[in-house]
Structure 1
Amino acid sequence: MTQAAKKQALGRGLSALLKDPDNDIKSVNDKNADKVVGNIIELEIDAIEINPFQPRSNFNEETLQELATSIKELGVIQPITVRKLEFNKYQLISGERRLRASKIAGLSVIPAYIRIANDNESLVMALVENIQRHDLDPIEIALSYQRLIDEVQLTQEQMSDKVGKKRSTIANYLRLLKLDPIIQTGIRDGFISMGHGRALITIEDEDAQSDIYHKIISQNLSVRETETLVKNYQDNLKPKTGKTTSKTALPFIISESEKKEIATVLGSKIDIKIDAKGKGKITIPFKSEADFQRILNLIKK
């Protein structure tokens, strides 16, 4: 018998043990608890309820179908994790994609690790294990960190120890929650990356933030191009020498790609400046009279 087959047989045997009402295991101190906790056991899918603390809220139907097909052919490779609620009743801690896909595949049982924990411990385990094991989008990860702060009162330092991430990394995720909800949705849906979001966070004005967000999408700007665009916007907000300037959002913003487009048409480097009222000027340098005539002819076309 192979090692995998032995584990499967053991899982079925322990499953029968859990269905014995006269020896119901309610805590780690109960008889046979050591045989159950930490072992892989085949549980009936109908006996497992979804964890209300589950941080993942988006499930791609196409990838679920792909996983279901894989499970039909190979079985569930990585067991889910559950906690025991009462006799023959369990709550999911992590592995909701595998559970959903197993239902689609028509499975009646699923391999699981069983833990006995209180609600608070279950919340921590669910959030931490999902952050570490699953392909959550950046906003879902940020929300998971925020829940650990709000509901479990963990500090960023404590979270750093639990999830194995630097405090600066955790702080960067949490800062994403300061973005406009529309931009957060853009990150969740994959229209922009976390890097784009981090660049946009530095803009306080919501209208300007929204303008640049739409430029990123419409012009397919890279993170570096976005950072340059944000820097140009912020430079225009800085007070001029001897003058005081309030931080008023510019009526519109010209991106580096737009500048390059004009420069390409004219065959010359240009400089564009805009003031808070929307007025501005384009400076076109030329090297000689012949170069001036060349540019003039292009403009006349």
Structure 2
Amino acid sequence: MPLSQLEQRIIWLLDRRYFMARKKLVLANNPLLSGPALAERERSGSPYRELRINLIDRDSNQPRVNFDEEKLDELAASIKMYGVLSPILVTPYKSGRYKLISGERRLRAAIKAGLSTIPAIVDTDPDSSEERTLAVQLVENLQRDDLTPLERAHAIGALRESYNLSIRQIAERLGISKAMVQRSLEILDLPDDLLNALREGASESKVLLLAKIDDPEIRASYLKDIDSITRAELKKDITKKRTEKVEKSNLSPEDRRLVDEMQRSLGMKVRMSRPAKGSERGRITVDFYSDDDLQIIFRRLVNV
């Protein structure tokens, strides 16, 4: 029975002799994994190989598109000292060439470090597919929390559209919640102002809350202070505004005119609700924020 990818990774990490060979190679500059040694390893039936980097092609469908250059430099420095201690995952796809499934960050850093070969697990599973490859790439990045919300959304969207998968199927394949899948798909429908906010690092949960506001000007006023307001405060404020909008939409044109006139006269927020069916009681609510506001309301009522 073929080994799973996870089993192959565990075997690789537990292979102490290979780890020591890699360490000796780096520290003593001994070419143990080139020439005859490389050929012997490739004949051994081991699930991993030492592949030449110039034979590995990156996958254009890789979910992750942004790589922190400073962190890549740090990883490259580590690789120069200790080598690549965790293999990348590739699959044969052309004569003598391989397509990268996971490990692009390690591959980029290895190139920066000047390596000509890199340890790799070669996935020869006959059941391999583009869907499976994209799922593996997504899982790897999700587990390390490397993807931005936009990258995650585009990758999940590609899974759904290309392979006609349901939210439940995507969640099962990626090992994530259906809620996360749903949030990711909602991101794809965001207007440009909110997409830009996400690109600039705004909180995903706050941006999705702002998506409930249709008016771009109101959204813009929130986006200015999005870093200083908490999610709880934002949710409370948006819920209040949506409630007010619903209440106002239930009023007749004449009632809305009266509400607008009262607001202009008092300089305060006024809400009106008509009696519910079977009830004789309506309500007018005036928001005030100080004793002076209360005095203004009192004088206007008394004068009436």
Task: Please give the range of the TM-score, normalised by the shorter of the 2 chains.
Answer: 0.5 to 0.7
Q: Which deviates more from structure 2 when the two are superposed, residues 168-177 or residues 50-59?
A: 168-177
Deviation per residue, 1:242-283 (Å, 9 max, x gap)? 7147xxxxxxxxxxxxxxxxxxxxxxxxx96289xxxxx973
Quickly say closer, same or farther: Cα 1:103–1:113, change in 2 above 3 A.
Answer: same
Superposition deviation, residue 43 in structure 1: 1.0
Output the aligned Cα RMSD.
Answer: 3.3
Deviates more, 1:152-161 or 1:223-232: 223-232
2:146 corresponding residue in structure 1 = 135
For 2:157, the aligned partner's letter is Q
2:6 aligns to what? none
1:215 corresponds, among 225, 232, 241, to: 225
SS of residue paired to 2:105: helix
Partner residue, 2:58: 50
Q: 1:96 to 1:153 in 2, by over 3 A?
A: same
Give the 3-state SS of the residue equivalent to 2:90 in structure 1: strand
The structure with the largest alpha-carbon Rg is 2
Taking the TM superposition and a 5 Å limit, the aligned residue runs for 1:1-301 are 3-6=15-18, 12=33, 15-16=38-39, 35=45, 39-116=47-124, 117-190=128-201, 192-217=202-227, 220-240=228-248, 243-244=251-252, 273=269, 283-286=288-291
Could you tell me which residue of structure 2 aligns to residue 25 of structure 1? none
Total equivalences in the alignment: 240
222-231 or 126-135, which deviates more: 126-135
Contact 1:124 1:152 in 2 (8 A): no
Q: Provide the C-alpha distance between the structure 2 equivalents of 1:134 and 1:84, rounded to a whole number of angstroms.
A: 28
Distance in 2, matches of 1:244 and 1:5, equals 81
My pick for the range that moved more, 7-16 or 222-231, is: 7-16
Which amino acid letter does the alignment assign opposite residue 96 of structure 1?
E
Secondary structure of residue in 1 paired with 2:291:
coil
C-alpha separation in 2, matches of 1:274 and 1:216: 27
User: What code does the residue aligned with 1:90 have?
Assistant: Y
SS in 2 for 1:107: coil
Secondary structure at the residue paired with 2:101?
strand
**Residue 216 to residue 134, structure 1, CA distance change in 2 (3 Å):** closer
Q: Is residue 81–residue 92 contact of structure 1 (8 Å, CA) maintained in 2?
A: yes
Q: How big is the shift at 1:146?
A: 0.6
**Structure 1 residues 175, 115: CA separation in 2 closer, same or farther (over 3 Å shift)?**
same
In structure 2, give the amino acid aligned to 1:16: A
> Secondary structure of the residue that 2:65 maps to in structure 1?
coil
Aligned CA distance change for structure 1 residues 193 and 15 (closer, same or farther; 3 Å): farther
What secondary structure does 2:224 align onto? helix
Q: Are the equivalent residues in 2 in contact too, given 1:44–1:108 (CA < 8 A)?
A: yes
Shift of 1:84: 0.9
Separation (CA, whole Å) in 1 of partners of 2:88 and 2:199: 25
Q: Kindly indicate whether the alpha-carbon contact (under 8 Å) linking 2:135 and 2:173 is maintained by their aligned counterparts in 1.
A: no
Task: State the TM-score, normalizing by the size of structure 2.
Answer: 0.67
Unpaired stretches in structure 1, ≥5 consecutive residues: 21-31, 246-270, 276-280, 293-301
Unaligned runs of 5+ in 2: 1-13, 23-31, 254-266, 272-285, 296-304
Distance across 2 between alignment mates of 1:222 and 1:118:
43
Percent of aligned positions with the same letter in both sequences?
A: 30
CA contact (8 A) 1:54 1:126 kept: yes
CA deviations 1:28-52 (Å, max 9, x no partner) are xxxx8xx25xx22211111111101
Contact 2:41–2:49 (Cα < 8 Å) also in 1: no
One-letter amino acid of the structure 1 residue matched with residue 170 of structure 2:
M
Distance (whole Å) between structure 1 residues aligned to residue 250 and residue 221 of structure 2: 30
Q: 2:73–2:109: 8 Å Cα contact kept in structure 1?
A: yes
Q: Residues 19 and 85 of structure 2 are in contact (CA less than 8 Å); yes or no, is this contact kept in structure 1?
A: no
Decide whether aligned partners of structure 1 residues 108 and 209 sit closer, same or farther in structure 2, where only a CA change above 3 A counts.
same
